[in-house]
Amino acid sequence: MMDSLLLILMLIAVLGVGSQWVAWKFRLPAIVVMSIAGLLAGPIFGLMNPEEAFGDLYRPFISIAVAIILFEGSLNLNFKEVKGLGKPVFRIVTWGAFLAWIFGSLTAHYVAGLSWAVAFVIGGIFIVTGPTVILPLLRQSKLKPTPAKILKWEGIVVDPFGALLAVFAFEFILFLLADGRDATALLFFLLASLFAVVLGVVFGKVTGWMFESGHIPEFLKSPAVFALVIACFIIADEVKHETGLLAVTAMGMTLANLGISSIRDMRHFKENISILLISTVFILLTSSLTMDTLMDVFQPAIIGYVLLMLFVVRPLSIFLSTVKSGLSLQEKTLVGWIAPRGIVALTVASYFATILADEGFAGASLVTPLTFALVFSTVIVHGFSIGWLAKKLNLSSEGNPGVLIVGSNRFTNALAKTMKELGIPAVVVDSSWDRLNGARKAGIQHNHCEILSEQTEYTMDFTPYDYLLTATEYDSYNALVCSTFLPEFGRKNVFRLPKQNHSGDHLVDIDHTIGGREVFTPTEGIEELKYKLKSGYVLRKTSLTERYLYEDYMRDREQETVLLFVLKQSKQIEFFTEDLETTATAGDTIVSLTPPSKEFNKIKEKLEEKRNGKS
């Protein structure tokens, strides 16, 4: 086992980020890869035990990390997002959570053999799913908007309530068992929870006011939010343990609904920090387990408890709580199946395992293995099944990678129509009904909206689209849209047309760090492309074979041909750009803007073939 704390920190970071990369590269659930990496480094090979190495800093670090992750998730909870979903979301986070608590507690008592006190505490903990597990799954599974939003809201809103419910159950049990039945502690817990909500709202409003009024400079905004989140969490948690999570959730939701201009930048910064912390904390928790805990997982009572939680408790609580809520049977089935437990369940359960054992409650020794069994089982089962089940229930937007095209004109409409013929999901977005008229007539999927508007985030589903292409007549607008959506699509998937020299906004130059990659050729702006189409150029699809290779195509094409993109056999799209070399192999399709002479010669050849065939 490693003795150096620096080496352990290095290994945690490498395993955490490395697991995220492996998951992205091979399209695996990230939480599954991280859990396996932590188990291999910890109890299986014994390379490290972070809980022993960190000592007294172990639990405070994990608590603060969870608070930041929960705050980052709550920054996405804008009430506009649940427009039309208010009833099912409200029912699931209230009645659904309550039913899950009752059913889970009964299962823990009668199946796992826990005492009533321990069963109701553990039942409260296990109603949580949480952003640490739900958000990575949603990021990879490409669910349709309705189930994705419901799962996200449930995961983030119920997360602090699960911890509070466990505290409430514990305090209530102590109240019932204590001599004289003093209700002071129970009343203090309720007041502390109310204080946490008020504190979070105040912190959120004060933060928003300071940002908008200019009291905090731009370069200090991210560090300031970071410090304020930690302060909000610790103040509430010092008043009463576990209420800090409620405080940071209230703070994040308050900021998300203030409509301040800094929220998008803040969200991206927090998302980057959150991904790093999720990776780190999962490795910390799984590598700190012992072999004895792992072996206890295989007890029949624990296995039976996990199976009932998976196949009975969760589906039943969702189906009962969403009666007449407007959700379809498919949506109820998916939401009723997906409930992976994560960091909050592990951390809160480990805290209560010690407390319950000190109080002498029967079954307290089973809390840790029971928690790990449920966390690891749900992470594995739900991580691998969410994509498959969503496809079976027709709730997945997974398919061929799509293209979101900004700007409707003769060229983009022709490009979108060609993509549609190739089976590529493509949508043309424009803020002008007049400009969209051509797209409507051509039967192309289109969306009338301002792509930079906050409302578009809630009215348009971006899930099917992996690539962004901006092709309006204004170069500065194209660059602005690309820069805005770089975090969502990734730098390698954001493209814009080359600058125009004689039209548009006459933009002289664009810094190389701004906007996306320039596509096609450095001289072909939107006006040139539109003019070529008007002059008789056509979009042509050329399939490569073993007999007709990429080198043959490049040799035969006319010099004026504008190369647009390659549709690979894997259905991935590679746009032709100046800074990246694009190649194609047999089975790929090259799409190009071809001069009329080439097409005229093709028509002549076909006519000759027909004449020869008749004669």
How many H-runs (helices) and E-runs (strands) does the chain carry?
A: 26, 10
281 CB-contact burial (10 Å; exposed 0-12 / middle 13-18 / buried 19+)? buried
Confidence of residue 615 (pLDDT cuts 50, 70, 90): very low
User: Which stretch, 122-136, 306-320, 522-536, has highest mean pLDDT?
Assistant: 306-320
CATH of 57-273+312-392, one of 1.10.260, 1.10.357, 1.20.1530, 3.30.300: 1.20.1530
Mean pLDDT over 165-183 rounds to: 73
DSSP 309: I
User: Could you tell me which of 209, 319, 302 has the C-alpha nearest to residue 260?
Assistant: 209
For domain 402-614, say whether CATH 3.40.50.720 is its number: yes
Residue labelled with tokens 């125009």: 500
pLDDT digits (tens, 9 = 90+) for 47-88: 999 988 998 888 888 888 888 877 877 887 777 766 667 788
Nearest to 119 by CA among 362, 328, 310, 330: 362
Domain ranges of the chain: 57-273+312-392, 402-614
Closest CA to 389 of 461, 431, 342, 333: 333
Half-sphere exposure of 501 (CA within 13 A, CB side): 4
SS3 386: helix
Long-range contacts of 75-78 (CB under 8 A, 24+ apart): 75/252, 75/255, 75/256, 75/263, 75/266, 75/267, 75/270, 76/152, 76/156, 76/256, 76/267, 77/152, 77/153, 77/156, 77/157, 77/252, 77/253, 77/256, 77/257, 78/256, 78/257, 78/458
Cβ(515)–Cβ(559) below 8 Å: no
Percent of the chain surpassing pLDDT 70: 89
Q: Could you read off the pLDDT of 539-554 as tens digits, one per residue?
A: 999 999 998 999 999 8
A 10 A CB-CB count for 510 gives 17
> What are the tens digits of pLDDT across the range 195-244?
999 999 999 999 999 988 888 888 888 888 889 999 999 999 999 887 88
Backbone angles phi, psi at 496, to 5 degrees: -140, 155
Q: Hunting for tokens 């992205």 — which residue is that?
A: 24
* Rounded Cα–Cα distance for residues 531 and 501 (Å): 14
pLDDT in tens, 592-611: 999 887 655 665 566 566 66
Give per-residue pLDDT as tens, 298-347. 899 999 999 999 999 999 999 999 998 889 999 999 999 999 887 778 77
Longest Cα–Cα distance in the chain = 110
Q: What is the pLDDT of residues 443-491, one digit of tens each?
A: 999 999 888 886 677 677 787 888 999 999 888 888 889 888 887 788 8
Secondary structure, 3-state, 116-128: HHHHHHHHHHCCC
Asked whether 589 and 572 are in contact (CB, 8 A), the reply is no
| Residue predicted with more confidence, 587 or 156 | 587
pLDDT tops 70 at residue 503: no
Spatial distance between the Cα atoms of 1 and 103, rounded to a whole number of angstroms: 42
Given a cut of 80, whether residue 289 has pLDDT beyond it is yes
Q: Name the average pLDDT for the chain.
A: 84
Sign of the dihedral defined by the CA atoms of residues 464, 310, 314, 65, in that order: negative
Residues 37 and 19: beta-carbon distance below 8 Å: yes
